[in-house]
A and B are shown apart, each in its own frame.
Chain A
């Protein structure tokens, strides 16, 4: 089947792109030059600005400054129809398929083959079969429903769908996360074939070995800037990794002396239906325990299950040596567990509520008499907390919406500080928070631990964990594979444990795609908007 790519060869040049969100610069002058007919890799840590850059190319975000040059025309901004007209197609991280449509319908939705004014089902089905066979060697009945397919098959459908459009630049954002090796190989072969036919590919991946196998060039992003563009086949992977990592962050932490008290939380052989199994650990008073793991490692589900957000299938949880049942967040709160969620806008704060209302939300009983709220008591407590958190807010009555990301996060922390808890679970506490607020949050976490609380930090930021935690548990494929002492472990050892490399240096000659050199961790910034 002939490839339906545009015959005009066109490259893409992005220069000086700036994008700010709530005063934080996600992109700070990014330049990217993609030569036509090449596969161009894009790598960077979470929050480096990859997603933002891609969304600007897709026309979803409008840049604050900078230009995009394509087909000789210079654009200061794009919108989705324009991006489509320019021939840019995207495979986003989220799967965008309708579960109740068939395979063939999904492939041709929006450009259905017709006879007269109705759909030519037979031709559509035949074309679908050929396309899937040609691009991926995949034999799926065209009448199967998307909902009946596996994640990998759905991803394949999505890529095939993009290839069927008139495409001159194909942008793939982590396309292999759900694919198995055979499908990855097929995808690469297909992409290479398409490249040889003149297609330009922008390929975003955390799997550096994929970048090495596939890409002709790779651009490394860090803190919203392109720090280097190199040829991956001539550059050692370790050099690329060190380009990605911002070492300066280690200065943020103040080391503290730890005095451990009684065990606060004991977890015994905890298991989840399909995310993790056989997890046991203990956290003592005054201890900060770091937890990390790749997407799919079960770390997040485990932490969620401790707050009753995920149901456990087996195992015991003891708080202060008494067994508790944690099947709902309300039970967890009653067991004196505090949870600071990752998505503060969705779960952590009520944006339209004031600072005071948000902070006292979890401790209303303490501030009421006979069921009636005593505002004076609330005000006193909140004033105290604001001072303690160095919270920058116009007033106690200002809606949280008006605060910056870091200050919103402090409000969430304050909510749980206002009722003394035994265990604080912090889920990615510094995502989307600027450096200044980060330092404050780290200081606060240290203080909490100093006062005898037990703290569990789930984070994908390894340097943050190394600086902040006393011990780090590493999850891999549903199990705790390593327990590291944060004072002696280094970044490389932690990274190896997280990615399952197990201390051995990966065999470079092997060049298979079944291990991760460096991979997105627990999943921050994976989600979009």
Chain B
């Protein structure tokens, strides 16, 4: 309120000082109706002099960010609590080999979730119209089936690897085309490609296990230096690469802008369609990379890869909690995939029926979604 002294003609009782803090002051408002409301409420407030310093505007917004902070802190506490509980209940839990085992087991889920996260980033948070890649898991299934079939037919890694990666890329491109070109909601577009992938996989494998052994798969499954499985190295390298790409390059920043407020991104001259397409291509490639990891873990392709889909969505959603801005991040997804891995592993070590895992995962989804939509409601 330091200005008040300087400009006495402005000090008029303002019954509505708070009017410059409209409930409709939302960010990422896309409809013109909303921005008009915003205008309506906060116009004509120039008699209040203190916006820059301490203004009531800030108040409720602070509580919004605080509520998000609360969600974040409590979930981090839950994470730490779970880890402590399991390490007390099962002494093996935090042993070197078990931790590595957990990381290795989490790699497939994590890699798929990286792709999902990228798509979340570029698509925004809207549940219906926002970005999502439902084809992620069945993409992995199909890619794995193709790799295994090529090996079965006598092909080498030099053929199987590029073909598999190309498969993922093509699936990503089909998704991108449907979403950007045909303007189909990602939820529906990727639902369709999910079924296409699952169908092709069945045609290819006749719903059977296709064993695959090849030098590359053996090498991937092998243990590298420091007794760390190579899968763990691959997992972490991919995470590192994506963290750099998404969090340190202009491309990543633009991806966040597109997902955060599409109109603003367009106004900033960003080629929105190209960036959204890129995110689906990344997700597609993540699908085929995950396929190679799962092939080497399972020694072949097996039906039912699609079942992992919901866990992938969960992990990518859960990662949001870790971020200061409450947005999806690759590092957050990395942490949450490890958390789910430790959770499953802890259940196994403490002899809790693995059937509980599903229930806990479902509960977590509810918590995360409720937490984030709660904070979003408050923000409006």
Residues on A close to B: CB < 8 A?
Answer: 81, 84, 92-101, 105, 109-110, 112, 114, 117-119, 121, 138, 145-148, 150-153, 176-184, 273-277, 294-298, 300-301, 343, 346, 477-479, 510, 512-514, 516, 519-520, 522-523, 526-529
Contacts and interface: CB of A to CB of B under 8 A. Distances in A.
A114 B250 contact: yes
Interface in B49-64: 49-52, 55, 57-58, 61
A296 B16 contact: yes
A138 B52 contact: yes
A527 B35 CA distance: 7
B268 A109 contact: yes
Contacts of A112: 250, 253
B356 interface: no
B40 A93 contact: no
Interface string B154-191: 00000000000000000000000000000000000000
B327 interface: yes
A180 B27 contact: no
A510 B51 CA distance: 23
B65 interface: yes
Nearest to B264: A96
Nearest to B248: A118
Interface of B: 3, 7, 9-10, 14-16, 18-23, 25, 27-29, 32-33, 35-36, 38-52, 55, 57-58, 61, 65, 244, 248-250, 253-254, 256-257, 260-261, 263-265, 267-270, 325-327, 379
Contact of A478 (B19, B46, B253): B19
Which 8 A-B pairs have CB atoms at the shortest separation, nearest pair first?
Answer: A99-B27, A295-B43, A98-B260, A527-B36, A94-B35, A478-B16, A96-B264, A110-B268
Given A180-B46, A522-B40, A100 B325 contact: yes
Nearest to A146: B27
Contacts of A529: 32
B16 A109 contact: no
B269 A84 contact: yes
Given A93-B39, A150-B51, A510 B260 contact: no
Contacts of B3: 180-182
Given A112-B250, A138-B52, A529-B32, A519 B46 contact: no
B44 A177 contact: yes
Contacts of A98: 27-28, 256-257, 260-261, 264-265
B7 A181 contact: yes
B265 A296 contact: no
B248 to A, nearest CB: 4
Nearest to A295: B43
A314 B8 CA distance: 33
Contacts of A527: 32-33, 35-36, 39
Contact of B9 (A151, A179, A343, A514): A514
Nearest to A510: B9
B16 A298 contact: yes
A180 B12 CA distance: 13
17 contacts: A98-B257, A100-B27, A100-B260, A105-B253, A109-B257, A112-B250, A112-B253, A152-B51, A177-B42, A274-B21, A274-B41, A275-B16, A294-B44, A514-B47, A522-B40, A526-B39, A527-B39
A177 B22 CA distance: 14
Nearest to A520: B43
Chain A CB within 10 A, most for which of B41, B47, B248: B41
Contacts of B44: 177, 294-297, 477, 516, 519
A468 B260 CA distance: 45
B364 to A, nearest CB: 23
A434 to B, nearest CB: 22
Contacts of B28: 98-99
Contacts of A478: 15-16, 19
Chain B CB within 10 A, most for which of A100, A117, A522: A100
Given A100-B326, A182-B49, A296-B43, 6 more contacts: A96-B263, A98-B28, A147-B27, A148-B65, A275-B16, A478-B19
Contacts, number: 197
Chain A CB within 10 A, most for which of B15, B29, B36: B36
Contacts of A138: 52
Given A109-B268, A117-B249, A119-B250, A178 B19 contact: no
A237 to B, nearest CB: 18
Chain B CB within 10 A, most for which of A84, A94, A138, A520: A94
Contact of B10 (A109, A118, A146, A181): A181
A179 B3 CA distance: 14
Contact of A110 (B55, B61, B269, B327): B269
A207 to B, nearest CB: 9
A118 B247 CA distance: 9
Given A94-B32, A100-B260, A150-B52, A110 B254 contact: yes
B23 A101 contact: no
B41 A275 contact: yes
A479 B267 contact: no
A184 B21 CA distance: 19
A182 B257 CA distance: 30
A295 B327 contact: no
Contacts of B58: 150
Contacts of A105: 253, 257
Contact of A119 (B61, B253, B325): B253
Contacts of B46: 176, 179-181, 184, 513-514
B51 A183 contact: yes
Nearest to A145: B325
Contacts of A119: 248-250, 253
Contact of A153 (B15, B36, B51): B51
A298 B19 contact: yes
A101 B43 contact: no
A105 B248 CA distance: 11
A173 to B, nearest CB: 11
Contact of B45 (A96, A114, A296): A296
Chain A CB within 10 A, most for which of B10, B46, B261: B46
A85 to B, nearest CB: 10
A177 B39 contact: yes
